[in-house]
């Protein structure tokens, strides 16, 4: 799909929600590279125990599961510090659950991605059960990375919605159309990461 077609689709969705953006807002680069499925899977799986620990699950058990699954290398430095020493606000890692939701969608583990809705309350049941040290093998068997065009289309919409939210903030207004800032930001981060070679914490979220 051409970039102008992707932007047209974003504009159509925005219009249905009563939203608009600057026509001059840049479109995504044609040269975006899609990450390998295993890398995406490892990132999703590594974030799960961090999110669980941020919600009260034992940090030592979380780290032990990650080591057993050989996923420590997929953690960010901030996530490692949080699990090892409890550094950092738990809220930061709780909001990353929305980024996890995007990665799960990208891997066809969830059927739809609706930027106007929070992730499903039953999302945790899709992930390995840390309480019984469940292996990641079943989730790995189910996963299949979506086509590049689907991911680029979602990324463009997330970018446009992020711009809308930023404009509202500049004008001192609440996010319009029922959007939630942290949902859009974290989902855009995951989509931008999927289509780049940058590390998770180095992803640019400029608008």
Domain regions of the chain by residue span: 3-34+146-202, 37-110+120-142
pLDDT digits (tens, 9 = 90+) for 124-176: 999 999 999 999 999 999 999 999 999 999 999 999 999 999 999 999 999 99
pLDDT of residue 106: 98
Q: What are phi and psi of 189, to 5 degrees?
A: -55, -45
pLDDT of residue 177: 94
Element (H or E) spanning 6, and its range?
Answer: helix 3-16
Tell me if the pTM is above 0.85.
yes
What pLDDT does residue 47 have? 98
> What local confidence, expressed as pLDDT, does residue 127 receive?
97
Q: Is 152 exposed, middle or buried (0-12, 13-18, 19+ CB in 10 A)?
A: buried
Side-chain half-sphere exposure of 51, counting CA atoms within 13 A: 20
* Half-sphere exposure at residue 148, Cβ-oriented, CA atoms within 13 angstroms: 14
Contact 154, 113 (CB under 8 A): yes
| Low-confidence residues in the chain, pLDDT < 70 | 1, 30-31
Q: Which of 106, 112, 115, 132 is nearest to 44 (CA)?
A: 106
Q: Which two tokens stand for residue 73?
A: 């290398």
**pLDDT at residue number 30:** 65
Using alpha carbons, select from 191, 181, 198 the residue that is nearest to residue 102. 191
């Amino acid at each position: 799909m051409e970039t102008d077609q992707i932007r047209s689709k974003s504009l159509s969705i925005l219009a249905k929600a009563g939203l608009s953006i600057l026509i001059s807002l840049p479109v995504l680069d044609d040269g975006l590279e899609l990450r390998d499925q295993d890398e995406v899977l490892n990132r999703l799986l590594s974030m799960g125990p961090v999110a669980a620990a941020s919600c009260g699950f034992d940090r030592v058990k979380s780290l032990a599961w990650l080591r057993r699954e050989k996923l420590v290398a997929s953690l960010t430095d901030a996530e490692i510090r949080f699990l090892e020493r409890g550094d950092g606000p738990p809220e930061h890692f709780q909001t990353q659950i929305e980024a996890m939701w995007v990665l799960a969608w990208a891997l066809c583990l969830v059927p739809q991605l609706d930027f106007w809705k929070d992730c499903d309350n039953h999302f945790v049941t899709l992930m390995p059960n840390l309480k019984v040290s469940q292996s990641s093998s079943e989730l790995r068997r189910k996963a299949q990375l979506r086509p590049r065009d689907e991911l680029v289309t979602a990324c463009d919409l997330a970018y446009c919605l992020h711009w809308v939210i930023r404009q509202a903030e500049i004008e001192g207004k609440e996010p319009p159309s029922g959007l939630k800032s942290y949902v859009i930001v974290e989902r855009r981060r995951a989509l931008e990461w999927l289509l780049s070679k940058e590390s998770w914490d180095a992803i640019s979220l400029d608008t």
